[in-house]
Amino acid sequence: MLTKATVIQQIQQLPEQFSIDELMEKMLFLYKLETGLEQSKKDQTVPNEQIKAKYQKWLG
C-alpha cells in the first residue's frame, strides 16, 4: 500500500507543470510496483517456468 509520504515525494519530483495523465501514470506505476513488492514478500508470485509453460504458444 502506498503511503502519503511516498505520494508527496513523487509529486514533488514532477516538473512545475504536468498533465493529469502524467500524474496518473506515475501514481499507477508506483502503486503496481509497491503491490508487486508486497506480493513478493508474501511469496505470492508465479515462477517464470510456470508462466512460460502457460503462454508457450505466444512465446514461439
Q: CA 47 to CA 39: how far, in whole Å? A: 13
Total domains in the fold of the chain: 1
Range of the domain at 29: 4-59
| pLDDT value for 23 | 95
**For residue 60, what pLDDT band results from cuts at 50, 70 and 90?**
confident
Q: CA 38 to CA 12: how far, in whole Å? A: 24
Q: What does the block give as the cell for 47? A: 515462477
Measured torsion, CA atoms of residues 25, 26, 32, 34, in degrees rounded to the nearest 10: -170
**For residue 1, what pLDDT band results from cuts at 50, 70 and 90?**
confident
Mean pLDDT of all residues in 35-52: 93
pLDDT (tens digit, 9 = 90+) per residue, 11-39? 999 999 999 999 999 999 999 999 999 99
| pLDDT value for 2 | 87
Q: What does the block give as the cell for 49? A: 517456468
Q: What does the block give as the cell for 57? A: 504458444
| pLDDT value for 25 | 96
